[in-house]
Structure 1
């Protein structure tokens, strides 16, 4: 029995960030991807995630921020490392950072909110794959950096 949804789930694979390239999704495709990512179980409709988009020149601008934060947080990152950080978001035409924060609510336990954010990530990957785009879920050092959180105006 063939089912396109099941086939997609069974064949979806990550594409290395170094192998991603143009073109990225257009505005309509991006809207579909984000809508699909938002259609996940979300007890009490708390929406404990946000999507931060980096495309076009925003990738290079944020790369400069990453290099500055790397320099500030590491004792001696070296020029090669700083150049890699400055170019980190240039590997793909679009970077979607998914940030999440647990909302205090006795009716929606922390673990449910964490799973909801993870489900949003998975739906994002599946939707982008269904539209023919290569995708990869990566959590790199910047996902744990206090300096990066501050640069993005995110609470601890």
Structure 2
């Protein structure tokens, strides 16, 4: 089972998680990505996420199907928000249930890395000083420097 959702409105985490609560699953792993208050030393007031919805939906489903086929998981689901998000708002959510925890952890990591790499989503940061700029949503998933998805190169803007 897989379910990829793109939503301009908040979605209940209980609603997202419910289909993953399977009797065949002995492990569950989730990831939540939130809007944080700073980026590259600049104070952020919020973000606008823009997406090409038809392609984002199909690519998101493809990513989940790949995770399901690649790892021994029972079910996978993911959400990416669009529109304006304030500090602390949930931007990305991933959930994976599996018979064993290792598969759940590995599939969860695979899904977020592939979403960041492949999903047609663009992010405009709004700063407390009144400025705003488009920044990279995508990253090279082989390069993990502890700084998230910032400072990436090669992102095209909408």
Could you state the TM-score of these two structures normalised by the residue count of structure 2? Answer: 0.39
Which of structures 1 and 2 has the larger relative contact order (alpha carbons within 8 angstroms, sep 6+)? 1
Higher strand residue share: 2
Greater gyration radius: 1
Higher helix residue share: 1
Could you state the TM-score of these two structures normalised by the residue count of structure 1? Answer: 0.39
